[in-house]
Structure 1
């Protein structure tokens, strides 16, 4: 029977024209070489299509393969399998007749060539929006994290495992994995509560207690208690009442005493679980956790993620791909680094730019030995490639907030405006629009994470590794001193106030007093001082005399009752923010603050407009939502002709206005307040319409 097939093949060949038969016979080796070349081309094309498709399925979320692409890949795999069978038959000498082998190889080559010609057009994209668009990332699309995710999930489902420690170096994707686990837990409802709390580098028991109680929507029960032990007891009862729950502690840097915080010990009897993410295996072991390590991505996984960010169809550019793969290799399999470097090079097609980027990355990373330092150097590459100096300053400013802080986008843009990072334009709206463009640039480069908080307010966050990189820059030039959200009870010591500091952020601390002996003789270059959200009651007279160049002073939500007269000597001050200072009743004369552009006194207890305010002709922004304010002096507003933003308390009838007071404010873009009656309001509207007509006719 083994000779039947060759005989049949010879019979088939006899039906072929003699010249073609002879050609198959004489040029068999040539046909085989062509067969292998087309087979290899088809195989490479299939792998490129698969790689691009995987990348497209990651970004944006909710994509599915085009039907034609799926069918082509399925058929090509079968074709390549058949080609392998043909190759095996020919190489093993299964056919007595060389012409029969030549004919078989030629026919299969033509079939493969036809498949190659019908390959999907990669430039048009290989995926389309699926029914799940906009939903959280499906599990199958988590590059490289599937095995770890499954291991964590399995542990959560096992009664005998109560504590799980997920560890790995910064930027390896621990938090991302746990966010998907968190989503799956909420969806499947196997636990009564799923609680997420971010710990951060600086650990404070009371802060963690507050965050857990806030997640339980029971923070009011802790607000009145200051004793740590009693707070722990109250929190313990809260968690017990929460029933069978999973508590996720993200970004743990050191061992945590559950008893000290008030977290009941998880066990199989109460059905509760504790999961922590950390950079330290020692922390996991010390806390008695089941240890699970998150490893860097494999080369293929890293390449897929990189392509999903930089541009999936880049895989078709065979000139760039060798260099691109070397760039990916320098990212060491860390998702954070991969995403940020890809964001930096997105849209670049010039091979020289890619080769230069590769050389620069190698040089930066080669200068340092520690793994964490290599990550920071990689991230600095992205920062240095921000071409606009304004954008760089805006990015570095984000370090003034506490670690893991959700920064409201609109508030951040306001800060950039008052810092002068956004050029003065014709209107305030134009400056805000420019701010949103800068935000988009930083988000596209993955230096800021786009987010929406639980109230639906658009926010951005800095990854802790990105923040470490930014702080390493601001420790040198421009020089910042950032000690925000560290529960400080007093100002930093005199030695920390170096003369070259430009910006100081001490927001969200517990500082209650500012003594006279803290600052050095001169903070000659200090332009920004952020003391908001501190229980400051008193500021010494001499404090501001050491800051001749101060431009931005934020004392919002402090407990000060009055400001020292020395504030009047801050001749370069452009922004004074006192919002939410509910005990503030007195301000000194402000007439000397000739550069002041923004003044926020909302929520204070002042009864009179500060003296000298009529001299501040550069004011652009005033917030006077003050219920205790007794009047707006006649003739004040007409002098402030550059005002763009003006707000009064609409419930305070004593601050109601006349149209004639508002008519000179031709640059006003936003107003909130009330007029004395409907006639005054109509006069104001008529005046605004006339001004608009005149402007349009110019």
Structure 2
């Protein structure tokens, strides 16, 4: 019955809104069947064999090149009782998350730990969100749902983790030090057999948290070249006129797997040596204009964005930056948004527009600007790497058409000074804004077409914009699904 229910869930998740509505009867029938079954066997649970704790599901990963030594070092620490907390640090794009995803999957196969818990933390640390994510991973979120006090939530979560047995908790992408007690994370020790692993760009965070510090270094020139050649394609490798320039391009990627993959994706299919020389010149000029490691990484990634030949494709890419960090969205839903935004037009049928959207998605994926993630039920979600999103946000900050303040725990709208007559797209989704007032929102934004508000506890909207067209996106569920409404004018 559970398998049948999962099939129904997949149908609903993959369908369009109309299809979801049509599937409502199917969902109702399946729910009714399950309820009848349980009603007929009220004491059945006493005779059922309950499975032990589940380790979790494997995470989608990309290939590792030249990271075996670091991977083995982290693994050895996890197998030692003496080491309870491990801090994996290195610059953005160096491959920390990819390494840990492989280790996560290896831990599931090893079955030494009863649970392997993966939590993505991100820049804007939110205690309650992290608590919810850990509880959800342990299938115990209902114990926190009705509790709002952070201290009590921490106590409840601590008990949940105690009952989870020996586990490894991986906190990916930590930007600042946190108090484990404040969150309710069980202090790992040799006594309880639990481990904590965090990935971060800061060595200071590792040391403050009392971790065994492991640094992930950039790839060597040889390793970087192997990865680049794997991604750029065999035909280019066979061109003796391109190889000398290609090797210098690889060197300019500074051994960072992310930039190597993105630049290789951009140059894939280019067989003209002059284009390669121009690309090398462009890369060198970009890196020479900025100071600081992070700025250099962003400029290398901008190289790929600027080489997208179609302005509409660039608009589609920047649209994804409106969503918060680590946000995942179904392919079909993202294409629907692009169509509603009129990024995809001048076609006779909806099917042609959707086909064009898939073509654009493939182009962005081939350039490694978007990543694929498949759920256990086969649904394909899209995600943007943190460093790629930082690059996209750096572009929107220089563009007066955008205001992007998603997932920043804001309690009010951005200040009036940030709104201009050129603003077209505003994203303040996933914040703590409860009211949108006419006094805060200026009336001069005549070009505003997109206002993303979902996942805010909004209780009151008071807007009086005349002769303005909006696309308001409100969430119809707390996580991913959203619905688009076209409103000709709001008075």
* Fold equivalence (TM over 0.5): yes
**Where do 5+ consecutive residues of structure 2 fail to align?**
1-57, 479-483
Deviation of the 1:427 alpha carbon: 1.2
The match for 1:80 is none
The match for 2:248 is 326
Trace 1:89-128 onto structure 2 (pairs within 5 A).
none
Q: CA RMSD in A?
A: 2.2
- 1:553 paired with 2:475, answer no
Q: 2 CA distance for matches of 1:302 and 1:558? A: 43
* TM-score of the two chains, using structure 2 as the length reference: 0.84
Deviation of the 1:165 alpha carbon: 0.2
- 1:189 paired with 2:111, answer yes
Q: 1 CA distance for matches of 2:264 and 2:179? A: 40
Pick from 152, 163, 179 the counterpart of residue 85 of structure 2. Answer: 163
Secondary structure in 1 aligned to 2:465?
A: helix
Deviation of the 1:475 alpha carbon: 1.1
The match for 2:363 is 441
Deviation of the 1:248 alpha carbon: 0.2
Secondary structure in 2 aligned to 1:277?
A: strand
The match for 1:576 is 485
Q: 1 CA distance for matches of 2:376 and 2:431? A: 23
- 1:519 paired with 2:441, answer yes
Question: Closer, same or farther in 2 for the Cα pair 1:515/1:558, shift >3 Å?
Answer: farther
- 1:282 paired with 2:241, answer no
Trace 1:218-233 onto structure 2 (pairs within 5 A).
218-233=140-155
The alignment of Structure 1 onto Structure 2 pairs a total of residues equal to: 429
Checking the alignment, whether the CA contact within 8 Å between 1:534 and 1:558 is kept in structure 2 is no
Deviation of the 1:522 alpha carbon: 1.2
Trace 1:543-622 onto structure 2 (pairs within 5 A).
543-545=463-465, 548-557=467-476, 576=485, 593=488
Deviation of the 1:530 alpha carbon: 1.1
Please identify, of 409-418 and 490-499, the stretch whose mean Cα deviation from structure 2 is larger.
Answer: 490-499
Q: 1 CA distance for matches of 2:173 and 2:232? A: 28
Deviation of the 1:349 alpha carbon: 0.7
The match for 2:373 is 451
Q: 1 CA distance for matches of 2:418 and 2:376? A: 37
Question: Closer, same or farther in 2 for the Cα pair 1:396/1:135, shift >3 Å?
Answer: closer
Question: Closer, same or farther in 2 for the Cα pair 1:331/1:468, shift >3 Å?
Answer: same
Q: 2 CA distance for matches of 1:498 and 1:221? A: 45
Deviation of the 1:516 alpha carbon: 2.6
The match for 2:413 is 491
Q: 1 CA distance for matches of 2:61 and 2:380? A: 20
Q: 2 CA distance for matches of 1:244 and 1:137? A: 25
Deviation readout 1:85-105 (Å, 9 max, x if unpaired)? xxxxxxxxxxxxxxxxxxxxx
Deviation of the 1:507 alpha carbon: 1.5
Pick from 214, 218, 222 the counterpart of residue 292 of structure 1. Answer: 214
The match for 2:31 is none
- 1:247 paired with 2:169, answer yes
Secondary structure in 2 aligned to 1:555?
A: strand
Pick from 330, 340, 345 the counterpart of residue 267 of structure 2. Answer: 345
Q: 1 CA distance for matches of 2:392 and 2:89? A: 24
Q: 2 CA distance for matches of 1:445 and 1:478? A: 26
Question: Closer, same or farther in 2 for the Cα pair 1:144/1:552, shift >3 Å?
Answer: same
- 1:419 paired with 2:341, answer yes
Q: 1 CA distance for matches of 2:82 and 2:166? A: 15
**Where do 5+ consecutive residues of structure 1 fail to align?**
1-133, 560-574, 578-589, 597-698
Secondary structure in 1 aligned to 2:122?
A: coil
Checking the alignment, whether the CA contact within 8 Å between 1:532 and 1:556 is kept in structure 2 is yes
Checking the alignment, whether the CA contact within 8 Å between 2:61 and 2:98 is kept in structure 1 is no
Checking the alignment, whether the CA contact within 8 Å between 1:512 and 1:534 is kept in structure 2 is yes
The match for 1:154 is 76
Question: Closer, same or farther in 2 for the Cα pair 1:313/1:300, shift >3 Å?
Answer: farther
Checking the alignment, whether the CA contact within 8 Å between 2:443 and 2:464 is kept in structure 1 is no
The match for 2:301 is 379
- 1:173 paired with 2:95, answer yes
Q: 2 CA distance for matches of 1:413 and 1:182? A: 32
The match for 2:44 is none
Checking the alignment, whether the CA contact within 8 Å between 1:192 and 1:242 is kept in structure 2 is yes
Secondary structure in 1 aligned to 2:309?
A: coil
Secondary structure in 1 aligned to 2:102?
A: helix
Deviation of the 1:347 alpha carbon: 0.8
Deviation of the 1:137 alpha carbon: 6.8
Trace 1:348-363 onto structure 2 (pairs within 5 A).
348-363=270-285
Question: Closer, same or farther in 2 for the Cα pair 1:482/1:453, shift >3 Å?
Answer: farther
- 1:388 paired with 2:307, answer no
The match for 1:204 is 126
- 1:429 paired with 2:348, answer no
Q: 1 CA distance for matches of 2:191 and 2:59? A: 35
Pick from 311, 314, 317 the counterpart of residue 233 of structure 2. Answer: 311
Q: 2 CA distance for matches of 1:186 and 1:137? A: 14
Deviation of the 1:433 alpha carbon: 1.0
Deviation of the 1:323 alpha carbon: 0.2
The match for 1:567 is none
Q: 2 CA distance for matches of 1:387 and 1:417? A: 20
The runs of 4+ residues in structure 1 deviating greater than 4 Å are 134-138
> Whose relative contact order is higher, 1 or 2, with alpha carbons under 8 Å and at least 6 apart?
2
Deviation readout 1:103-132 (Å, 9 max, x if unpaired)? xxxxxxxxxxxxxxxxxxxxxxxxxxxxxx
